[in-house]
Amino acid sequence: MVALIDYDAGNVKSVEKAVEHLGYTARLTRDREDLLNADSVILPGVGSFGDACARLDEYGISPVIREVTEAGIPFLGICLGLQLLFESSEESPGVDGLGLVGGHIRRIPDVGLKVPHIGWNSLSFPHSGRMFRGIDEGAYVYFVHSYYLEAADESVVTATTEYATHIHAAIEKDNIFAVQFHPEKSSDVGLKMLSNFLEIR
**Taking residues 17-24, what's their average pLDDT?**
97
Indicate whether 151 pLDDT > 80: yes
21 in active site: no
Give me the pLDDT at residue 81, please.
Answer: 97
Question: Given CA atoms 142, 116, 48, 97 in this order, what sign does their dihedral have?
Answer: positive
**Residues 6 or more apart whose Cβ sits within 8 Å of residue 124:** 137, 138, 159, 160, 161
- Domain hosting 29: range is 2-198
Q: What share of the chain in percent tops pLDDT 70?
A: 100
- Using alpha carbons, select from 158, 163, 196, 154 the residue that is nearest to residue 178: 158
Catalytic residue among 53, 79, 117, 168: 79
Which DSSP state fits 173?
Answer: E
Q: Is the pLDDT of residue 9 over 90?
A: no
**Given the residues 16, 91, 172, 184, the one annotated as active site:** 184
With a cut of 90, say whether residue 102 has pLDDT above it. yes
Look at the chain and report how many structural domains it folds into: 1
pLDDT at 11 over 80: no
pLDDT tops 80 at residue 159: yes
Catalytic residue among 117, 145, 168, 182: 182
Mean pLDDT over 56-61 rounds to 96
Q: What is the CATH number of the domain that holds 113?
A: 3.40.50.880
Q: Is 79 a catalytic residue?
A: yes
The answer to pTM > 0.75 is: yes
Confidence of residue 8 (pLDDT cuts 50, 70, 90): confident
